[in-house]
Chains A and B, each alone.
Chain A
Amino acid sequence: MGLIVRTIARTTIPLIGIFGAYIVSHGHLTPGGGFQGGATIAGAGILFLIAFGLGEMKKHYSKSLYSALEGIGGLAFLGVAMLGIGTAFFYNTLWHSGPVLNGKPGTLLSAGFLPIMNLAVGLKVFTGLVSALAAIALWRRWKE
């Protein structure tokens, strides 16, 4: 894209990133959550891909890193779901008797395992969407 789009993208990509992080980390307090915030951050990645082009994207995008992060997101979700397996699957033991994340409802560190799950889902959605769009952009040609 042109010079103006690239310069504006330089300033808006950190802004979109922090707004997405805000949505993800306040998923238990305000509207939004893991998927919405992850898709917002993926929007920043797609803005980078469109504004700077595929050549720059190839330099900054690492397939193995994004693949690993997506797996870590899924595993973290499963891991916190297993924390209360002594009682039941998905038993919110952090909220009932956990050492952290059992603050007063309405504060950031409350709601048990929900913030961790939101972060895990946000990470998974961000890396998954960016990987999918990068793969589509890398598709070789329109026809054989």
Chain B
Amino acid sequence: MPFIVAFLFAYIAWLALTAGSKGLLWSTEELVAGLIFAATIGYATRDIVGEDSTRFLNPVKWLLGIVYAPVLFWGMVKANFDVAYRVITGRIRPGIVRVPVDLENDAQYTIMSNSITLTPGTLTIDACPDEKALYVHWINIPEGLESPGSSEPVAGPFEKWARRLGR
């Protein structure tokens, strides 16, 4: 039922947009109008969100996402300081590396690639699911890691998280 996924997603976005129409809550007319508009959007986009999107209705996944947020934020803080260090000192060794990953579906590839791109110093250029690899531009390739055997030196714990979140 991809309609339900698109509908719920749109309705939650509507509630976030119209919060505060009655004190801190929602007035009845906003709630009803939101139902109508979210149902329209959900019906129109039910083919776009895709048949297998229903797995994201699982509340365990939302909890995992909340737990993942500080992990990603801490990775971003560390990597930003690392890039600031490289800007000041100029010690860079840039290049594009092929990172083999063990992921199965589109959502996992997307979470993984976006996490890599959000942590400065690494930038995903292409995701190739058919050869199970990402191409990543790396600002400072350590000696001997020109073709890494796993994603651990490039992305830290992100592959494990992406596999868990997008399953």
Contact = CB atoms under 8 A, between A and B. Distances in A.
B10 to A, nearest CB: 4
A13 B42 CA distance: 10
A7 interface: yes
A2 B134 CA distance: 12
Interface residues of A, number: 25
Contact of A21 (B40, B47, B49): B40
B129 A3 contact: yes
Interface of B: 6, 9-11, 13-14, 17-18, 21, 27, 29-30, 33, 37-38, 40-42, 44-45, 47-50, 53, 106-107, 109-110, 113-114, 124, 126-127, 129
A97 to B, nearest CB: 20
B148 to A, nearest CB: 20
A17 B45 contact: yes
A60 B129 CA distance: 26
A21 B38 CA distance: 9
Given A3-B106, A22-B18, A108-B21, A14 B45 contact: yes
A14 B109 contact: no
